[in-house]
Structure 1
Amino acid sequence: MTRKLRVGVIGAGIAQRHLAGYNWNKDLFEVPVLCSLDEDRGRQAVAEFGVGEFTNNVETLFARDDIDIIDVSTPPDSHFEFSKRAIEAGKHVICEKPLFGSIADVDKMVEIVAKTDRKFMPIFQYRYGSGLQKLKRLIELGLTGKPFLTTIETHWWRGPAYYDVPWRGKWASELGGGLLGHAIHAHDMLNYVHGACAEVFAYGETLVNKIEVEDTMALSIKMANGSLAALSMTLGSRKEISRLRFCFADMVAESILEPYTMGRDPWVFTAGEPEHQAKIDSALAQYEVAEDGYTRQFELFHDAIVNDGEPPVTLEDARNSLELVTAAYYSQRTGQPTQLPITANHPLYTSWLP
């Protein structure tokens, strides 16, 4: 019989997407309690998703011995403290993006988790769209050839009303702007396909709204695997799109343009020669479709816990994405290319906040 894992959720905003993911995995998870300081929103989520109970006292979650996992879905500035306390209380942890406010915090969490038998999973659910998974499969089969260039566009719209929420648009509470909070999923997909970045040059500005943090950026990147990437992010696009395009020696992979589900089918995979196109088409015909998004990531985390395996998304994965952010902020401020990895002697290692 499948072992059900019990999840205590902190938060009532993005947490509702998580609750939907748990409900799609009812044979694997149950959610006995949700904690939120926003009582109206929290009680609404409890009722809508069939959560056992509501509390506004986070201390009770850490103290409970009937919870296996703490799900941290709160504003970014609270992620590290809640995650640390959950691990120290003997719980596994799921934590929303952006994970923490520095590379130093990621490295500290690696040390904290290493002293326990607990598992920690950052959220990067976009990885599990079937379009991106098909690209990963073609790479594994050796059908793509050498990587040349990746272009990623995260062009969304966020007007003044979005920033009416008190913690948004501020360095101290949101920890960053569109690069950190919006484009980070697409940029994780770059790392997921190609591995770590080697050098970043970035321009960033606040052009769209009267906020502290950036809302428009352009990045040029050298990848550690030798390929190049061009990333653009704006929250000032009246037509919202997300676009990923991967150019390899033997084929090109192109995502759909839907802004919030760009990892999903139908992606287009175009080979240079008819014979090679036939091999790609044959491989794709054998692809086994699975769940995607939070549903798939939670399913894989359940397997990692019950079978003592590696989480599907690791702290090292989150470090890669936050290294890109750190390097981009440093390049933006200095006007110079920034080398990666970001180590303890880097000026922004302990914080990129101005």
Structure 2
Amino acid sequence: MSVAPSPSVSAERVRVGLVGAGGIAVVAHLPTLKALQDRIEVVGIADLDADRVAKVADEWGIPGRYESVDGLIEGEKPELLIVCTPPSAHRDAVLKGLRSGAWVWCEKPPVLSLAEYDEIQAAESEGGPYASFVVQHRFGSGAATLKKQVQEGTLGRPLVALCNTLWFRPHSYYEVPWRGRWDTEGGGPAMGHGIHQMDLLFEILGDWTEVTAKAEALDREVETEDVSFAIVRFENGAIASVVNSVLSPRETSYLRFDFQDATVELEHLYGYDNSSWTWTPAPHVAADDVERRRAVESWSPEENIPSSHKQQLSELLDAMAAGERPRASGHDGRRTLEFISALYQSAETNRTIRREDLAAEGIYYTGMHDANFIYGSSRLAEASPSSTDGR
């Protein structure tokens, strides 16, 4: 199908349409859009639930109200379409937006497979429209400062990293019908929770080359995993461990980067600012090299820009105005999805998966999971009547 030419982005406010009127739209996106109202105008919102659309539209003063993506696009002709639906609806909404000529900003996870991601890339045009995905943690000033230091070699070579998303989701969380299922969520905490920290890990350390992983459903009643562990090797030689869990009562999001000359740590939960980061010089730097110690310790940016939807959207609007591909799209949008696919493939096949061996066909290209592999099989066996008390 041919792609409609991207509407020119004028100096006036960008016309924005919102797809999905649920929690993430109300909690994150609508406050963000209001904060940027000097640059955007929300012209319409769509959701299958007409009552919800009316309630949200009334609350936020949105004029256009629709029950379908098609109706929203046809009725309002948005320049930017923001997709806040459950994951299984991402592909269709993103493609409809791109083919109408709108740029698209879609919530995580991007889509349910690499095949779907490639469909989206094929629908993009040089100079726009492009599809970008919500991974707001790479957009804070702390991450930007560390990335610059890595590029300039200020901290020495990267050697070791930890990337932990240790969150807690009660059993009731999975009573929502689309959660914890391969066909509607595409995976467990690796796909829907840890994706933010993993994206930031790759933003700092670059491309990965291989992954060895284990994943299991230890406690939650889900089709997917509820915890995963992975060992990752990077092109630059660094090695990282990655843990994603929804079973951890003391919740934390923690990244640690050990370089030759410093350790850099980030600990937060759902968002950070500069105070969430610490830079620790290596003993030899602190003792012997005053200039290098100053370089390591003087990390604090001139501005304190928190990780946020607002910061990412601001950069996306800049890219639209310039007709340039935004960050968190294309190659570096696919990179994290490739890693998640490889993580599941490694866990289910008990093999190390190299990035260069990822195929453009087969089970882990068209999906994330081999249906013959059952997560939680040991837990289910222990819980079955035949395995207890001799019954």
Using the size of structure 1 for normalisation, the TM-score is 0.93
1:134-283 alignment, distance < 5 Å: 134-256=145-267, 258-262=268-272, 265-272=275-282, 273-274=285-286, 275=290, 276-282=292-298
**Structure 1 Cα separation of the partners of residues 194 and 181 of structure 2:** 17
Q: Following TM superposition, by how much is the alpha carbon of 1:212 offset from its aligned partner in structure 2, in angstroms?
A: 0.6
- The structure-2 alpha-carbon separation of the partners of 1:117 and 1:233, relative to structure 1 and needing over 3 Å to count, comes to closer
Q: Which moved more, 1:53-62 or 1:246-255?
A: 53-62
1:351 equivalent in alignment to 2:367 = yes
1:234-292 residue CA offsets vs partner (Å, 9 max, x unmatched) = 11111111110001111110112x3211465330011122322312333x345333464
**Structure 1 Cα separation of the partners of residues 55 and 160 of structure 2:** 46
Question: Which is greater in Rg?
Answer: 2
Structure 1 gaps of 5+ residues are: none
1:181-238 residue CA offsets vs partner (Å, 9 max, x unmatched) = 0001111011111112111111100112111111111111111221100011111111
**Structure 2 Cα separation of the partners of residues 242 and 221 of structure 1:** 18
Q: Following TM superposition, by how much is the alpha carbon of 1:108 offset from its aligned partner in structure 2, in angstroms?
A: 2.1
AA in 2 matched with 1:145: G
The answer (yes or no) to whether the contact 1:134–1:287 under 8 Å persists in 2 is: no
1:1-354 alignment, distance < 5 Å: 2-13=11-22, 14-16=24-26, 17-64=28-75, 66-114=77-125, 117-256=128-267, 258-262=268-272, 265-272=275-282, 273-274=285-286, 275=290, 276-282=292-298, 284-285=299-300, 287-290=302-305, 292-341=307-356, 342-345=358-361, 347-353=363-369, 354=371
Secondary structure in 2 matching 1:67: coil
1:163-182 residue CA offsets vs partner (Å, 9 max, x unmatched) = 12111111111111111000
The answer (yes or no) to whether the contact 2:230–2:241 under 8 Å persists in 1 is: yes
1:44-102 residue CA offsets vs partner (Å, 9 max, x unmatched) = 33233332333223321121354111111111111111111111111111111111111
AA in 1 matched with 2:60: F
1:300-351 residue CA offsets vs partner (Å, 9 max, x unmatched) = 1111111112212212122100111111111111111011042315651222
**Structure 1 Cα separation of the partners of residues 117 and 207 of structure 2:** 16
Alignment match, 2:376: none
Structure 2 gaps of 5+ residues are: 1-9, 372-391
Q: Following TM superposition, by how much is the alpha carbon of 1:137 offset from its aligned partner in structure 2, in angstroms?
A: 2.9
AA in 2 matched with 1:288: E
**Structure 2 Cα separation of the partners of residues 263 and 213 of structure 1:** 32
The answer (yes or no) to whether the contact 2:273–2:306 under 8 Å persists in 1 is: no
How many residue pairs match? The answer is 352
What percentage of aligned pairs have identical amino acids?
30
- The structure-2 alpha-carbon separation of the partners of 1:308 and 1:114, relative to structure 1 and needing over 3 Å to count, comes to closer
Q: Which moved more, 1:183-192 or 1:139-148?
A: 139-148
AA in 1 matched with 2:170: G
**Structure 2 Cα separation of the partners of residues 178 and 263 of structure 1:** 24
Q: Following TM superposition, by how much is the alpha carbon of 1:352 offset from its aligned partner in structure 2, in angstroms?
A: 1.8
The answer (yes or no) to whether the contact 2:217–2:227 under 8 Å persists in 1 is: yes
**Structure 2 Cα separation of the partners of residues 41 and 65 of structure 1:** 19
The answer (yes or no) to whether the contact 1:9–1:72 under 8 Å persists in 2 is: yes
Secondary structure in 2 matching 1:255: strand
Using the size of structure 2 for normalisation, the TM-score is 0.85
- The structure-2 alpha-carbon separation of the partners of 1:44 and 1:239, relative to structure 1 and needing over 3 Å to count, comes to farther
The answer (yes or no) to whether the contact 1:179–1:217 under 8 Å persists in 2 is: yes
**Structure 2 Cα separation of the partners of residues 213 and 294 of structure 1:** 28
Secondary structure in 1 matching 2:82: strand
Ranges of 4+ aligned residues in structure 1 off by more than 6 Å: none
Alignment match, 2:375: none
